[in-house]
């Protein structure tokens, strides 16, 4: 089995316990931001720390991406004939932040606002060594409500 490589290590860390998103927590007001940034947009404080965000949340809003996105540079399938639509949504991590992410589910009849979601990985392409380059996504939870 080939190794998995994070497509962007500044936002996605592959830990032994599974994928984690790298966010920021403000020590002044408790605000969470994803991805990490060096200052708090809420209180403008700079006393912030990097945190690994939760992996379980609820679907807050979603849509279906029906064509290959143009920007930022997209590493998945760009041939419109081979492209498969996928869900995109905001998942609210309780007590933390809403994260915009790809969804593993692309059937609109199976997506519902407020449903429980889990963080997972999806392969985008291979690197030069044959490793899977992966990005993060949320899938309908198998663990029940958030």
Neighbours of 72 (CB within 10 A): 6
Residues contacting Zn ion: total by CB under 5 A: 8
Distance separating alpha carbons of residues 125 and 145, to the nearest angstrom: 32
Question: Angle CA(8)–CA(143)–CA(19) in degrees, nearest 5?
Answer: 15
Q: CB of residue 101 vs Zn ion: minimum separation in angstroms?
A: 23
How far apart are the C-alpha atoms of 88 and 81, rounded to whole Å?
20
Cα 139 → chain centroid: 10
Asked if 113 is part of the footprint of Zn ion (rule: CB under 5 A), the reply reads no
Binding mask 34-73 for Zn ion (x = CB under 5 A): ------x-xx-x----------------------------
Q: Closer to Zn ion at the Cβ: 47 or 127?
A: 47
By beta-carbon proximity to Zn ion, the closer residue of 33 and 111 is 33
- Phi, psi of 98, deg, nearest 5: -90, 130
13-32 residues in contact with Zn ion (CB under 5 A) are: 26, 28-29, 31
Token representation of residue 59: 């679907």
For Zn ion, the closer of residues 29 and 113 by Cβ is: 29
CB of 99 to Zn ion, least distance (A): 18
What is the contact surface with Zn ion in residues (CB under 5 A)? 26, 28-29, 31, 40, 42-43, 45
């Amino acid at each position: 089995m080939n190794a998995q490589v994070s497509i962007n290590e500044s936002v996605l860390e592959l830990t032994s316990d599974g994928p984690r998103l790298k966010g920021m927590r403000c020590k002044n007001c408790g605000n969470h931001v994803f991805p990490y940034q060096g200052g708090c947009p809420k209180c403008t404080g700079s006393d912030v720390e990097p945190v690994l965000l939760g992996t379980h949340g609820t679907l807050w809003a979603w849509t279906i991406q029906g064509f290959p996105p143009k920007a930022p540079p997209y590493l998945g399938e760009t041939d419109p004939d081979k492209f498969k639509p996928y869900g995109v949504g905001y998942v609210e991590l309780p007590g933390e932040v809403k994260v915009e992410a790809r969804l593993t589910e692309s059937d609109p009849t199976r997506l519902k606002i407020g449903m429980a979601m889990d963080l997972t990985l999806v392969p985008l392409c291979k690197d030069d060594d044959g490793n899977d380059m992966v990005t993060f996504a949320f899938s309908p939870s198998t663990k029940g409500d958030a």
